[in-house]
Amino acid sequence: MSDLNHTLGLRVSPSVRLAETQDGLVLFDPRQGLCVAVNCTGALIWKEVCAGNELNQIAEHLAEQFSISTEQAYNDVQEFLQQLKEKRLFADVRSTENKRERPKKLGGFFRSLWKRAFAGSAKDTE
């Protein structure tokens, strides 16, 4: 299964592991300590994105399978993918902010510690 969907611009985050269950998928990201279970519909969307299918194709397939409108399926797929992106299980390869995997808050935290550590040592040397 490919981990890149050129049309959607999504790739599976490198630390994500998955296990198939009878109810869908369990997605685990040990880097974040995050475990997410998705139902069979979510598993279908995940697999279709990883296979490189376009959003329209995925929506049409769901619409046929579940007897819903293509518009409803399209909206549901978009919402599901947005939730996965927010959980950083999928990364948007078009976005430069996703190239750095650490959270901004953590980076700011380390910067402030670094400044405090060297601010104190600069005073000690004077």
Give a yes or no: residue 82 inside a domain: yes
pLDDT at 44: 94
Instruction: Report the C-alpha gap between 67 and 47 in whole angstroms.
Output: 20
Give a yes or no: residue 118 inside a domain: no
Give a yes or no: residue 108 inside a domain: no
Residue predicted with more confidence, 2 or 102: 102
pLDDT at 22: 93
Residue predicted with more confidence, 9 or 64: 64
Give a yes or no: residue 106 inside a domain: no
In three-state secondary structure terms, 103 is: coil
As a residue count, the chain comes to 126
Mean pLDDT over residues 20-44, rounded? 94
Domain that holds residue 36: 4-97
Residue predicted with more confidence, 123 or 29: 29
Give a yes or no: residue 24 inside a domain: yes
Indicate the angle between helix axes 70-86 and 55-66, nearest 10 degrees: 120
In three-state secondary structure terms, 34 is: strand
Give a yes or no: residue 74 inside a domain: yes
Give a yes or no: residue 125 inside a domain: no
Give a yes or no: residue 103 inside a domain: no
Domain with 88 in it: what CATH number?
Answer: 1.10.10.1150
Model pLDDT for residues 45-68, shown as the tens digit of each residue: 999 998 889 999 999 999 999 999
Cβ atoms of 52 and 2 closer than 8 Å:
yes
Provide the domain count of the chain: 1
